[in-house]
Amino acid sequence: MSDAIPVTLIPGDGIGPEIVSATVRIVEAAGARIDWDRQLAGMAALNAVGDPMPVATLESIERTGVALKGPLETQLGSGYRSVNVALRMRFDLFANVRPARTLVPNGRYSGVDIILVRENTEGLYSGVEHYVKIGNDDHAAAESVAIITRAGAERVIRFAFEHAVARGRKKLTLVHKANILKLSQGLFLETGRAMARDYAGRVQFEERIVDAAAMQLVMAPESFDVIVTTNLFGDILSDEISGLVGGLGLAPGANIGEEAAIFEAVHGTAPDIADQGIANPSALVLAACLMLDHIGHEACAGRIREALETTIREGQTVTRDLGGSAGTHAFADSIIARLT
Ligand code: ATP
C-alpha cells in the first residue's frame, strides 16, 4: 500500500477486539487506504509485556500521529490512574470532540446535530487538590483549584472555530459560568469574545451560561450547532448530549492535540458482554469516521455514516442494545452490504 495513511490501531480490552475488527472491516470495505500499525495498550498490554502503556505503542502514535483505539481497562495498582488519561496527557490532547446526531428513529428528539468541543487538560480537572487541616481534623476542608490559562483557552476555542469552519458549521456557542466564577470562567469567555472577531461573517458566536445551556439542550437541542466549553462542563454536557441521541452506545469521541489525535468510542470495555460477539460496534465505527474526516477521507466517512444510518433505521440487522438480535459481525456485514 504505497500511498496508504499510517494509523496506530489499538484493539483494547473487553469488547474492544470484537468492535475493532468489525470496524476495520467496514473501513476497508469502504475503500479507505490505511496502513494499520497494530499495538497493545491497557490490560492486553499488561498481560503481554507487563506494561499497560508500552513504549512501542507510544512510539507508534508519535510516528503516525493518528490512533483508533478500543476501550482500555486499567488495573488497580498498575501505576496509572487510567491509561486513557495517561495517553491524553502524554500527547497533550487538549480538545475532546463529541459529535451527536439523531440516528435512531422515533426517539424523543429528532434533528439533533451537535458537536461539543471540551477543553481536556485544565479547568477544575487540573488535578490541583488538597485538604486543609483545622485543629485536629486533617480533612476539615478540601480545595480543588480550577485553572484556566489564556493559552489553554485560546487553543481550544481556536480549534472549535476552525472545526466549525472545516465542517461547514454556522454557529459556535461558548458555554461558561462567568457570572459567578468571574476570573477563571471570565478569562475563558473573554478569550472567546476576542477570537470571535477573527471569524465574524463566517461563524456566528453565541454565549450561554451553563445552567441555561443544560436546560436549552433538553428544550430545544436543535438550536445548538457547535459548542465549546471548559473541562467539567464539557464532561457533563457531552453525556447529556449523548442521551439526546440514544445514549453512549452510539457516541464517538476524538481527543485531539497538535501532534496526535486518538479516536475512540465513548463507552467502556463492557466486560459483561465481552467475547460473546454481541457488542454494538456503532460508536467505534462513528469514531473511525471522525478519524477518516481528520485524515482527509471525508467521502469515505460519509459513505460509512450513510450505510450505518440506513442499517440502524431499517432495524433488521442490529445488535440487541438497538432492539435487534444480530451479532457484531452480522451488523458489520449489513453495513458493508449497504456501502455504495
Ligand atoms: P468500563 O469499566 O470499561 O467503563 P463498564 O461496563 O463500567 O466498563 P461500559 O463499558 O460503558 O461501562 O458499559 C455500560 C453498559 O453498557 C454495560 O451494561 C454494557 O454491556 C453496555 N454497553 C457498553 N458498550 C456497549 C456496546 N458497544 N454494545 C452493547 N452494549 C454496550
Alpha-carbon gap, residue 15 to 18, rounded angstroms: 6
DSSP notation for 166-232:
HTT--EEEEEE-TTTSTTHHHHHHHHHHHHHGGGTTTSEEEEEEHHHHHHHHHH-GGG--EEEE-HH
Per-residue pLDDT of the chain (340 residues; tens, 9 = 90+): 458 999 999 999 999 999 999 999 999 999 999 999 999 999 999 999 999 999 999 999 999 999 999 999 987 766 777 888 889 999 999 999 999 999 877 778 888 999 999 999 999 988 889 999 999 999 999 999 999 999 999 999 999 999 999 999 999 999 999 999 999 999 999 999 999 999 999 999 999 999 999 999 999 999 999 999 999 999 999 999 999 998 888 999 999 999 999 999 999 999 999 999 999 999 999 999 999 999 999 999 999 999 999 999 999 999 999 889 999 999 999 999 999 8
What is the whole-number distance in angstroms between the Cα of residue 83 and the centre of ligand 1? 17
What nine digits make up the cell of 149? Answer: 490559562
Which residues, 6 or more positions from 94, have their beta carbon under 8 angstroms from its beta carbon?
119, 120, 121, 152, 155, 156, 159, 256, 257
Bridge partners (DSSP) listed for residue 129: 144
Q: Whose CA is nearest to atom 27 of ligand 1?
A: 280
What is the whole-number distance in angstroms between the Cα of residue 267 and the centre of ligand 1? 6
What is the whole-number distance in angstroms between the Cα of residue 280 and the centre of ligand 1? 10
Closest ligand 1 atom number to CA of residue 73: 3
Closest ligand 1 atom number to CA of residue 266: 11
Ligand 1 test: best mutation among 75, 248, 250, 267, most atoms within 8 Å of CB?
A: 267
pLDDT for position 105: 72
Using the structure block, give the residue that is written with the C-alpha cell 458549521: 169
Of 160, 154, 190, 191, nearest to 173 by C-alpha is 160
Using the structure block, give the residue that is written with the C-alpha cell 475563558: 188
Q: Whose CA is nearest to atom 15 of ligand 1?
A: 270
What is the whole-number distance in angstroms between the Cα of residue 12 and the centre of ligand 1? 14
Which residues, 6 or more positions from 238, have their beta carbon under 8 angstroms from its beta carbon?
96, 98, 116, 118, 253, 266
Dihedral sign, Cα of residue 251, residue 257, residue 258, residue 261: negative
pLDDT for position 44: 95
Of 115, 45, 116, nearest to 78 by C-alpha is 45
What is the whole-number distance in angstroms between the Cα of residue 293 and the centre of ligand 1? 26
Alpha-carbon gap, residue 42 to 52, rounded angstroms: 4
Closest ligand 1 atom number to CA of residue 280: 28
pLDDT for position 2: 56
Q: Whose CA is nearest to atom 19 of ligand 1?
A: 270
Pocket of ligand 1 (CB under 6 A): 15, 71, 73, 248-249, 267-273, 279-280, 283, 321
Spatial contact of 53 and 12, defined as CB atoms under 8 Å apart: no
Closest ligand 1 atom number to CA of residue 320: 29
DSSP class of 78: S
Alpha-carbon gap, residue 126 to 144, rounded angstroms: 9
Bridge partners (DSSP) listed for residue 123: 147
Q: Whose CA is nearest to atom 22 of ligand 1?
A: 270
pTM, two decimals, is 0.94
Residues designated as active site: 125, 177, 211, 235
